[in-house]
Amino acid sequence: MSDVASVSPGRSLWADAWARLKANRAATFSALYLVLMTVVCLIGPLLTSHAFTTIYPDYVRTPPSLAPYPRADTIEKSLRDAVKRARIEISGWRQEGARVFVAVSSAKPIDERVVRYLDRSDTFEDAKVEEKSADGLKLTMSGRVEHKYFYFGTDNSGRDLLTRTLIAGRVSLAIGLLAGFVAVAIGVVYGATSGLMGGKTDEVMMRIVDILYSLPFIFFVIMLVVFFGRNFVLMFLAVGAVLWLDMARIVRGQALSLRRQEYVQAAEALGVRQSGILIRHIIPNLLGPVVIYMTLLVPQVIILESFLSFLGLGVQEPMASWGVLISAGAKNIGTADWLLVFPSIFLTSTLFALNFIGDGLRDALDPKDR
Amino acid sequence: MAEPILALKNIKVNFQTLDGIVEAVKGVSLDVKAGETVAIVGESGSGKSQLMMGTMGLLASNGSIAGVADYRGTNLVGLPKPELNSIRGRKITMIFQEPMTSLDPLYTIGNQLIEPIMHHQKIGWDQANARAIDMMKLVKIQEPERRMGSYPHEMSGGQRQRVMIAMALANDPDLLIADEPTTALDVTIQAEILELMASLQKRLGMGMIFITHDLNIVRRIASRVVVMRYGEVVEEGDAKAIFKQPKHAYTKALLDAEPSGRKAPPAAKAPKILDGTSVSVTFKIGGGFMAGPPLLLKAVDRVSVTLKQGQTIGIVGESGSGKSTLARALLRLVPSEGAISFEGKDIAKLDREEMRPLRKQIQIVLQDPFGSLSPRMTAGQIVTEGLLVHEPSMTSRKRDQRAVQALEEVQLDPKLRNRYPHEFSGGQRQRIAIARAIILKPRLIVLDEPTSALDRQVQSQIIELLRNLQKANNLSYLFISHDLAVVRAMADHIIVMKDGRVVEQGTPDEVLENPREPYTKRLMAAAFA
C-alpha cells in the first residue's frame, strides 16, 4: 500500500517531554554529572593504583595531598622503623636521588634477607644489599623510595580514601537504582491493579499496604538480617520492599482517576479485557508521575542505605558505601575531617543532581505546562 | 460618539514553543465604548481569548504581547504589575468559562466576594459585606445572606457563574470581559445568564467584551461583532448588519453552520435492534462500613426505549437528567435493572465475558474528543484497539490496512495515523473516535454528545459524516445531546428526559414544533430564541 510507505511520523508526548527536558539547563547538567559520576565510580578504582582493601600501616590517617608521599621528613622514621623490626642497629643513612642507602650493624652476623624488612615497609621497594663487611657484622643496603599519591588522604587503617569513595559510589548507586527499580516495579503493578479493579479488591489490597506501612522499617530490616544474615542482595530487597508502598499509593490514586477517563470507558465499550486496559491505557498514562517519583526515590534509597550502614546493618567491611564512609568520617571529625568531607561531597552532589533531574522531569512531563 | 473605554491598536500575541514562535494574534485593532457590547467570534484557536488575556497581562509564561491597549489614556501593554493591578480586577474585570474552577473550593462565597471589595475600595469588612449582599441581589441569587456562607460546591453551575458575575461587578468596572461565560452551562441556564448579563450591562452602562464561538449568543447580546480567524480580524461591524449581510466568506460559512436537514424515519417493519424495557439505574452514595446505609439516587427511573435498524433516537435533556446513564445502562456499562435485549437476545443478565462478543456490534462515541483518546497511543493504535480484542488472529499488516480504511471512511488522511491525539484538532479527534467505533462494523452506535465540545462549523461536518455513515452501513444511532438544533437534524425520534424520567417523546416535529411539557418548552425557548 502506498500509504504505508509515506506515513508521516508523529511526535509523542515523550518526545515532547524530552525536548523540554533538554532545554532545562540544570537538569541536563545534572544528568551529565550523574553519567560522569557513574563512569568515574566504575572505572576510577582501576586507575588509582590502590586496591580498596590495601592497608598501608605507614600511612594511617594521612591527610589528603596532591604531592606524593613519603615526605622528606618521614623517610627517616620509616627507615628506622623498618630496620628496628629487623633487630639490627642503624649506623648511618643517606639519600641519593630516588634511592636511600642505609648502613646497619649488629652483634651477630647479618643475614642478607634483612632487605625484606625494607621491602615490607610501604615506603621502600626494590631493596638490595650494596656491600657487606667480611665478618658479616656490617652491611649496607639500599632501597628505592616508593612514591604514593593519596589525593583524598587515607583512613584509620591506612587505606586510600579516593579508591574507597569510588568503590562506595558503586555500591550506593547500584543500591539506589536497583532498589528504586524494585520499588517502582512492584508499586506500579500493585497500585495500578488496585486502582483499576476498585471496590472490594482495592479495599483489601490497600489494607495490606497499610499493614505493611505500620511495620517499623528498622525492625523489619533487623528481622531480615537476623534470619538471612548480612547480605548485599538483601539490602536491595529490604529497601525496595519498603519503598514500594509509597509508590503503590501514588499509582493507585492516579489509576483511580485514570479509570474515570473517557478513553478507559471507550476501551471498556470495545470489550477490552481488564489486563489490556491496564497495560495499554493505565500504565503508559501514569508513567509520567512514576518517572518523576522514581528520581526522587533513588536519593531516598541511597540515604536509607546510608542510614542502615550508619547503624551497622548495611554493607560489611571491607566493602563500603557512602553511608559507611560518612559514618566512619563522623567518628573522626575532630582529627581527620577529610574522612567526612570527601564522601559527603560525593553523596550530596549526587543527590542534588538526582533532585534536579526529578525537578526537570516534573516540569517536562507536566501537561498543565502545555 | 462617546470616547472608547478600551482601544486596542495592532495587538500581537506570540508564543514561544518547541516548534518555534506561534503567532496567536497577528495585529488586531478594536475598541469598546461605554454601554456597548462587542462580541468577538471565532473558532477555537482563532486567538480571540489570547487577545484579551494578553491585554490583561494574563498570558502563559511563554507568551509575549506587542501593540497598544489604551485604557482611558493608559497603555496596559507593558504596564508594571502594581499599576496594572489597580486597573485589572477593578476597572476592567473578567469572567471565565469554567464556573467550577474559577472559585476557590476552600473559601465561602462571601469570603471570596468580600476580599476583593475590601482590597480595591479600601473599606471595612461591614461595608464590604453589605456591598457583597447587594451584589448577590443584583445577580438574582435567592437568599443572599444565607448564600454568603456557602461553599462553591454547594451551588449549581449557573449559581456559581452568577457569583462570578457578582464578583466582577462588585467594584463598578468600566469594562467587563466575558470569556465564553455560558459554554459550560446547560442551555436553559445559559439563556438566564445571558439575559442577566444583558440587563446588568444596560443598567450599569459599562462596556462589555463577549468572547464566544456561538453565534446564537452573539445574536442575543451583542451590538457590535468582530469575527476573528487565524489571529486576524476578518470582519467587523454592527451585529444586525453582519447577520443580515455578511461580507466575508468565512462569516457566511459561520452563519450557515447551523445544522440543517431532517432524517426520514426507518421503514415501519425494520427489525428491532435494541429494546430496553423499564430500565432503572440506582447509584449508591456514601454508606459502607460504619457510615450507615447509603443514599440511593435513581439516575434512571423505569425508562423504556426501542431502537429499530436504521433509526436514530435522540435523547435530550439537561445535565443530570440521566440521559448518558441510560445509554451506558443499555450498553451494559453500568449495572441496571429491567430487561434489555439486543437483536432479540436478552443481554440484561450477561456477565463481562458473555458480553464481550456483543461489544463488536455495539459501539460508543463519547463527548470529549480530548479525553476519549489515550494521549500515549497513536491514532492508528487507537483505531485498531477493538480489532485486537475481537479479531486477535489478525496480522498487524492487515490491521494497519483496516485502520487506513476506517480513517478514509471518516475522511481523515490515513497518513496521519502515526500521530498522537494532541497533534490533532478537536474535530479530527472526534473523527478518530468515530473511526474507532466503525472499524468493528457495528450495528448500533451510541453517540454521547459527540458534537457539543466542537465549534459550530466542525459540528455540522461531523453531523454530515455521521449521517453518511448511517446511510452507507444501515446503522442505528442512539444520539444523546442537549443541543436541540443538532438533535433535530439527526434524529427521527426524540425522547426528552428530566430527573431520570421520560417526560415527552415523539417525532422531531411533534416534540419540537408542538412541545406539550413546560420543560420541553423551556428547552425549546433556550435553544431557538
The ipTM of this complex is 0.72
* Interchain CB contact of B368 with A (< 8 Å): yes
Residues of chain A under the 50 pLDDT cut: 1-5, 369-370
Q: Identify the pLDDT of residue A36.
A: 92
| Cβ–Cβ under 8 Å, residues A33 and A136 | no
- The nearest alpha carbon in chain B to A277 belongs to B385
Q: How far is the alpha carbon of A353 from chain B, nearest alpha carbon, in Å?
A: 25
Residues in chain B: 529
Half-sphere exposure of A33 (CA within 13 A, CB side): 18
Residue B367's alpha-carbon distances to A220, A263, B330, B414, in angstroms, are 50, 11, 17, 23
Residues of chain B under the 70 pLDDT cut: 1-2, 18, 99-100, 286-292, 528-529
* B346 beta partners: B341
Task: Find which of A202, A207, A262 to mutate to test the B interface (most B CBs within 10 Å of its CB).
Answer: A262
DSSP strand pairing (B272-285 vs B295-308): antiparallel
Chain B CB contacts of A285 under 8 Å are: 374-376
| Cβ–Cβ under 8 Å, residues A119 and A143 | yes
Q: Identify the pLDDT of residue A7.
A: 58
Q: Identify the pLDDT of residue A370.
A: 42
Q: Identify the pLDDT of residue A39.
A: 92
Query: Residue B124 contacts by C-beta under 8 Å, 6 or more apart in sequence?
Result: B118
Largest interatomic CA distance in chain A:
106
SS3 content of chain B, % helix, strand, coil (to 5): 40, 25, 35
Cell of A11: 511526535
* Interchain CB contact of B363 with A (< 8 Å): yes
pLDDT tens digits, one per residue of A296-341: 788 788 778 877 777 777 777 778 888 888 888 888 888 888 888 8
Task: Report the predicted TM-score, pTM, of the whole model to 2 decimal places.
Answer: 0.73
| Cβ–Cβ under 8 Å, residues B298 and B282 | yes
Chain B CB contacts of A4 under 8 Å are: 400
* A125 beta partners: A144
- The nearest alpha carbon in chain A to B434 belongs to A266
What average pLDDT does the structure give for chain B? 83
> How many CB atoms are located within 10 Å of the residue A330 CB?
13
| Cβ–Cβ under 8 Å, residues B13 and B59 | yes
Nearest to A261 among B364, B371, B378 (CB): B371
Nearest to B389 among A9, A261, A272 (CB): A272
* Interchain CB contact of B334 with A (< 8 Å): no
Q: Identify the pLDDT of residue A83.
A: 76
| Cβ–Cβ under 8 Å, residues A356 and A170 | no
Q: Is the previous residue joined to B265 through a cis bond, with omega within 30 degrees of 0?
A: no
CB contact under 8 A, B372 and A262: yes
CB contact under 8 A, B436 and A270: yes
